[in-house]
Amino acid sequence: MSAHSIREVRAFNRWYTDLIGLLNKHLPDSEYSLAEARILFEINARGAIRASQLMTVLHIDKSYLSRLLRELGEAKLIIRKPSPDDARAMLLSLSGKGQRVFAALNDASDQQVSRLLQPLNKEQRLRLAGHMQGIQGLIQAGTSIPGKVAIRTTLKPGDLGYVAWLHGRLYDKEHGYGIGFESYVLKGLGEFGLQHDAAKDRVWVCEHGERIVGFLAGVRRDAGGRGAGTVNRGDSLQLRYFILLPEYRGRGLGKHLMDLFIAFMRERNYRHAFLWTTNEQRAAIALYMRYGFRLTEEKISVAFGKSLSECKYELRLGGNSATRDR
């Protein structure tokens, strides 16, 4: 473990706890400690909960929790009732007074955060929330992020510009691609935006909260000679602009998007798909090959500020199943 990483995490922790006043141990304008407020929050959120469940959720010592619960009970903020499933177990719930106290504490906390965010504009607030979600996702390695990500299939103003920005920033940072790559993506996305037809194309926009964390497009390349909104057997679906933020990789979201891509091919009767990538995208190539894509063309290119190989991968669907290596 890097000593530098440890120092940076500890420095952030010191700064953040000082910022939100946790060292004071009491919430602003309140007689209740942070631990007591967390207990009230969890009971309110669940309606009724056992003390043993609180221990697990809050990671709190049994004797310390017992003391806090006793004090909250003496203050008539919580009620204890036998569990209908097990008379030996007690369920904790908020009394009428407890609900009023919780509402006041919750409102005070909202106001405290609101004051903290007040100097920031909307974009900065969204970026801050996104970074916080990213920290949580990285630390909680066992969390299944895809279940928390919403995927929409319609385009909104700003989507394409943001996707181009993501490509420019991430590919330069991770692979050293220059401005030529971002220009290439911008040109393609501009054309796609003007020609996009939901009857033949599909986008998958991944959002965590209000933040776009991933994107994939399926763009029809037609064989000609068909009516509007129809697909000929000779038509192809090009896989383009597949990107995920680093903290959302390795969680199954990429596989889920590929499943959606293949399902769309079947739904619209496509039998052929292709994509262009570079030889440096090893993880992505491994994923494509799992779904049956095979290398069919390769050429040397310096278009992105460095010498590399541009690679074409193609997929042909046969029968009722995709060629996928399980």
Residues 188-217 have pLDDT tens digits of: 999 999 998 888 899 999 998 878 999 999
CATH architecture assignment, domain 145-316: 3-Layer(aba) Sandwich (3.40)
Report domain 3-119's class: mainly alpha
Average pLDDT for residues 288-311, to the nearest whole number?
A: 90
Res 32: pLDDT: 78
Res 324: pLDDT: 47
Is residue 105 scored above 50 in pLDDT? yes
Average pLDDT for residues 134-152, to the nearest whole number?
A: 64
Residue 252 to residue 146: CA distance in whole angstroms: 7
Give the pLDDT band (50/70/90) at residue 325.
Answer: very low
Give the global pTM: 0.55
Average pLDDT for residues 71-94, to the nearest whole number?
A: 84
Residue 177 to residue 278: CA distance in whole angstroms: 11
pLDDT tens per residue, range 270-291:
999 999 999 989 989 999 999 9
Residue 27 to residue 255: CA distance in whole angstroms: 43
The more confidently predicted of residues 319 and 299 is 299
Residue 200 to residue 220: CA distance in whole angstroms: 6
Res 11: pLDDT: 84
Q: Which residues pair with 57 in a beta bridge?
A: none
Residue 90 to residue 43: CA distance in whole angstroms: 13
Give the pLDDT band (50/70/90) at residue 33.
Answer: confident
Res 301: pLDDT: 85
Residue 190 to residue 203: CA distance in whole angstroms: 14
Res 141: pLDDT: 45
**Mean pLDDT for the chain?**
83
Res 130: pLDDT: 67
Range from 117-131, 244-258, 307-321 that averages highest in pLDDT: 244-258
The more confidently predicted of residues 173 and 148 is 173
233: amino acid identity, one letter = R
Average pLDDT for residues 34-61, to the nearest whole number?
A: 83
Is residue 322 scored above 60 in pLDDT? no
Cβ–Cβ under 8 Å, residues 92 and 69: yes
Q: Treating both helix axes as pointing N-terminal to C-terminal, what angle do 96-117 and 3-20 enclose, rounded to 10 degrees?
A: 120
103: amino acid identity, one letter = A
Average pLDDT for residues 260-275, to the nearest whole number?
A: 93
As a whole-number percent, the residues of the chain with pLDDT over 90 amount to 38
Indicate the Cα dihedral angle 43, 47, 53, 58, nearest 10°: -30
Ordered by start, the domain boundaries in the chain are: 3-119, 145-316
Res 23: pLDDT: 46
